[in-house]
Amino acid sequence: MSNKRPKAELFKLTATLNDKGCIELDMDSVNPDQFVSIMEKDLPEYEGTFKVASLLRYLKSMGDEMITKSSRYI
């Protein structure tokens, strides 16, 4: 029996090569403000809410920068 714990995907940046030979960059992330709102409502005892929200903001800004700067390569 597996002891895997549930996980929630918070941020994802992918680079794929499509069937026409073009690279596609996709980014998906949880909105930090919505994350805070939901966590405060549904799981107020969790102490890391604001650290996670800050991390989400950082990852989003770095992802945006990566996508912008990679345009010279693709």
Question: Any idea where the domains of the chain sit in the sequence?
Answer: 30-74
Contact predicate 63/29, CB 8 Å? yes
Q: Say what the pTM is.
A: 0.84
Contact predicate 23/71, CB 8 Å? no
State pLDDT tens for residues 12-66: 999 999 999 999 999 999 999 999 999 999 999 999 999 999 999 999 999 999 9
SS3 of residue 44 by DSSP: coil
What's residue 16's pLDDT? 96
Separation between Cα atoms, residue 41 and residue 48, nearest integer Å = 14
